[in-house]
Amino acid sequence: MASQAVRILVAPLNWGLGHATRCIPVIKHLVARGCTVILATDGSALALLRREFPELESHEIPSYNVTYKTDNMLFNIGLRAPNIIRTIYQEHKWLKNFVKSNGIDAVISDNRFGLYHQAIPSAVISHQINIPIPGWMLYWLGNRINQWLLGKYNDIWVPDIAGPASLSGNMSHQTPIDDKLTYLGVISRMKQISSTKKFDIIVVLSGPEPQRTNLEHIILRQLATLPYKCLMVRGLPEIQQRVVCSSKLEMVSFMTSEELNEAISQSELVISRSGYTTVLDLVYLNKKALFIPTPGQTEQEYLAENFKKYKVFHAQTQDKLNLSVDIPKALELKGFERPDLLHAIYPEVLDEWLKKNGLLLHISDEVNNQGTISIDWKESKSKS
């Protein structure tokens, strides 16, 4: 009998960079536990993960290829619906072949609908259990389909706090499948570090084109007339470029998690899309933010409106953005001030999942200095 380490496939959706970045702490935890992690995604998400984990095996899989041709998200999704359905089928077929030929023991998907498997444990990470779709008929139909697809996985993990202090609100609470959900807490690739202030503002761009570029141009035009010292991170992992444009503006195409962590910690205010992973990172770091939701992306609009309503973060629509007014408003707010809720429970959830699926030999009751349960690994699963 030959021995091999437990092999786990981690596959985030390539729709902006958020799905990939919130998988980073999951990947690191699995690697620390002795797993062999294999990565699978496409496009910018794949480029990002390859830069973060150059030592890990990675594969390109079929792309959902969602673009924003208009500001109407339903129209955009409608245009791409045949391709999305085809991609779900293709990635499911790819997974079955890959598991058979590569000896995969488990799979973790982040919002990819086709990466479930009947023969091995499969988990999906998603905060969009109830997608905010306008119109009650479309809302009902769209979410029935969404929940049916998510339900094909053995486990559904929500990166959020359970209960009234939640960040995702009704998107992941009061759903028809609440009994199937396990909450991971505030999961973030960031670390709380002490830093001296270097920038007044950091602009962090991401998301599908052409809206990423549209927002970049809007912000650059407006920043040119303002006195703030700024760093712009363009969210282009395929490019390696850093330019000092002036004494007030520096631009970098992409930053690793550690670099971005330090840059955000050195900045007073973050300007970004209101993508959910960005929300998790900024809540964890207790930073002030100005959110600009992607036009027509109802999830980001819902989050931005909620945080603005409760005076947590300031938000403004892209077409009404006026940085000379919106920046001072954002600086007046204090951000999310609930440090008691920020304990990440995802290590315990992952360990329990590994244990219940026979991928761990023993979990002891001892807790290490990171606050996670200490584990004795079975070095391998025995395979012929």
Whether residue 146 is contained in a domain is answered as no
Per-residue pLDDT of 149-159, as tens digits, reads: 999 999 999 99
Q: Domain range for residue 205?
A: 199-339
Give the pLDDT of residue 75: 62
Q: Are residues 212 and 99 part of one domain? A: no
Whether residue 37 is contained in a domain is answered as yes
- 130 — pLDDT class (breaks 50, 70, 90): very high
Closest C-alpha to 281, from 256, 312, 260, 295: 260
CB 270 within 8 A of CB 288: yes
Burial class for 384, CB neighbours closer than 10 Å (0-12, 13-18, 19+): exposed
Q: Under 8 Å CB-to-CB from 74, ≥6 apart: which residues? A: 133, 134, 138
Query: If you ran DSSP here, which 8-state letter would residue 338 be given?
Result: -
Measured between alpha carbons, how far apart are the two ends of the chain, in Å?
5
CATH classification at residue 310: 3.40.50.2000
Rounded to two decimals, the pTM is 0.85
- Residue 142: pLDDT above 50? yes
Q: Are residues 368 and 269 part of one domain? A: no
Query: If you ran DSSP here, which 8-state letter would residue 121 be given?
Result: -
Please, what sign has the CA dihedral across residues 187, 234, 31, 12? Answer: positive
Whether residue 188 is contained in a domain is answered as no
Q: Are residues 207 and 318 part of one domain? A: yes
Whether residue 191 is contained in a domain is answered as no
Per-residue pLDDT of 366-382, as tens digits, reads: 444 344 444 444 443 43
Whether residue 13 is contained in a domain is answered as yes
Q: Are residues 205 and 335 part of one domain? A: yes
Whether residue 213 is contained in a domain is answered as yes
Per-residue pLDDT of 184-213, as tens digits, reads: 999 999 998 888 999 999 999 988 788 899
For the chain, what is the domain count?
A: 2
Whether residue 116 is contained in a domain is answered as yes
